[in-house]
Structure 1
């Protein structure tokens, strides 16, 4: 009995590693930002359902990523769940498919058929990037589009215009992170991280600018959180500029993933949604603590 229990716990841990479980805490802010920008945050059941759908799609993408990269990982990252033999490729693909189907079903349950014009393209973008898009010239933009569409999940097509500026900020941030991630195994030269630092500063600046129309308290919170994002992620880029080793670049990518939380908290505050912003910001220390136990890159 004890051996079976330990085996189940180990299997659960392997699957948690497969889907990069701590990083899923960076996802709720996507939908909240879109919903707040489009004035739909007050529909609690809709927002909660779409947050759940978005989170499932993210986990599906992580499992599919490792399925698609299993041969490369056997050489570059042999300790990952699939090449180490702890998770079979078939199981990883099954997890990805099941989570994708559950995500689409939950989106429809939360917002009806209106969710499909965004949910289907999001699913297609995730599967397209993982299976076909990684080695293309637009790989970084392809990955970033997934998170931009995730923001649009919160707004839906009916509120898309209002959510576009915030979605563009998130897309730009993920583009920067993805560009750095392409060097995280082999290491790179300092120019990669210098561009990333400049991109992060620009993202922080635009995020702060979007907060200028908010009431005073929300504006101060939006600017402060945008600055905190810039300082946290920017510091990791500075470290990688000094030593562009795989370890430093992996840390930079991890900071970029975690840094999405203060960035989106700033966007929420800047839209006047201070309480949800505080909730997203509160996820940041929790996610960082969890990331010390399980990798997010």
Structure 2
């Protein structure tokens, strides 16, 4: 593998497609249109995500040497010092981008950066680890809500944050067994979680109202926008199958597929949340990332 390929593996670049939707869903939930500050927030989020990916492997060098010796750090293809330097650099770049987006964004980015570093260096192997990962996604949503001057206290922001926190918590619990397998309880819990989230988003519909002409009448009659339920259904389908397989046979291979499926399911979940908040076009744009993420994940694993 080339040096570029080694860094792509370390950075898990196929999972990057799941990051912008956090910020965009937060902006939609806060009732604002994405602008330049939203783009800065997305850049901040991407940098912190990559900082977390690199720091994760740096902190787990001994464990990976036993269980995943082909990873870039234990194999010696990337020096640990270079990885740590990259994590620090990504974090600094993230804070700089958030600062340009304004003080509220910088404050949230600081809390997000602290959560990322605390998870990788201290909390990962504790009971608080999965909660920290979920909190990071929730803060990502809040970052999108405040960056463009939105109203972060709107109920829609709390709903979007809670959905992503719950989903990420469930995926993280499954990921604890991805190298060893042996537990079907976490995939079952994740399946229940994703099914509950998907059903809630589908049943309550979208935040906007489409308009369509009813035959035989001269006026326009409001009809329900079905984009949010459709995206919610895609979210449920994407997550359910690999979770079910891992629950029935919790082998390392199927558990890893379940984790990958949970990561890929983030995009339709973000799309459903954006559509429910009244931005179905934004949700559709996020769904366009799905085939790109799937194609790249065949070359670079997201886990």
- Normalised by the size of structure 1, how large is the TM-score? 0.93
Separation in 2, partners of 1:191, 1:83:
30
CA contact (8 A) 2:171 2:262 kept: yes
Matched, 1:122 2:112: yes
- Residue in 1 that maps onto 2:192: 198
SS at match of 2:265: helix
Separation in 2, partners of 1:61, 1:27:
12
Runs of 4 or more above 6 Å deviation: none
Matched, 1:171 2:165: yes
- Residue in 2 that maps onto 1:6: none
- Residue in 1 that maps onto 2:279: 273
| Structure 1 residues 113-150: Cα deviation after superposition (integer angstroms, max 9, x where no partner) | 22122010000000000000012112111111111101
Separation in 2, partners of 1:137, 1:242:
25
- Residue in 2 that maps onto 1:22: 14
> Structure 2, unaligned stretches of length 5 or more?
211-222
Separation in 1, partners of 2:111, 2:231:
30
Matched, 1:226 2:235: no
Separation in 2, partners of 1:189, 1:164:
32
| Structure 1 residues 82-128: Cα deviation after superposition (integer angstroms, max 9, x where no partner) | 0010111111100000011001101111x222212201000000000
CA contact (8 A) 1:22 1:294 kept: yes
Distance 1:235 1:284, change over 3 A: same
- Residue in 2 that maps onto 1:252: 258
- Residue in 1 that maps onto 2:63: 72
- Residue in 1 that maps onto 2:217: none
Matched, 1:138 2:132: no
Matched, 1:186 2:180: yes
Offset of residue 239 of structure 1? 1.0
Distance 1:41 1:210, change over 3 A: farther
| Counterpart pick for 1:11 among 3, 26, 37 | 3
Matched, 1:289 2:289: no
Matches within 5 A, 1:71-90: 71-90=62-81
CA contact (8 A) 2:95 2:110 kept: yes
Offset of residue 213 of structure 1? 4.1
Superposed CA RMSD: 1.5
| Counterpart pick for 1:50 among 36, 41, 44 | 41
Separation in 2, partners of 1:286, 1:149:
25
Aligned length: 287
Separation in 2, partners of 1:211, 1:140:
29
- Normalised by the size of structure 2, how large is the TM-score? 0.91
